[in-house]
Amino acid sequence: MSLKVSLLLDGQIERGRVKEALDQVTADPALRDRFTVYGIIGDTLRGNGTPDDGFTPRILDRLRRENARIEPGYDPLAEE
């Protein structure tokens, strides 16, 4: 189901299966949490800020500690 949540957030789930996936996510508290966390991680990697200014840096730090592949020099919070 983690893959389904990821595909749903990425807009890559088959069109006919979106409602089924959303129904499963809304019915299961663990999947709702995963959906929220995956969404926040995606926002962080795209450089979209969060209401808590310290949240995005903490997520990036955790991803680095878990050896997630992040492009060298990538900093979504850098001023453009």
Residue 41: inside a domain = yes
Answer whether 34's CB lies under 8 Å from 42's CB: no
Residue 25: inside a domain = yes
Residue 72: inside a domain = no
Residue 12: inside a domain = yes
pLDDT tens for residues 15-45? Answer: 899 999 999 989 998 888 888 888 888 887 7
Residue 47: inside a domain = yes
Residue 76: inside a domain = no
Residue 26: inside a domain = yes
Closest CA to 45 of 32, 33, 59: 59
The pTM score is: 0.57
In the chain, the number of structural domains is: 1
Q: How far is CA 77 from the centre of its chain?
A: 16
| First CA to last CA distance, the chain | 37
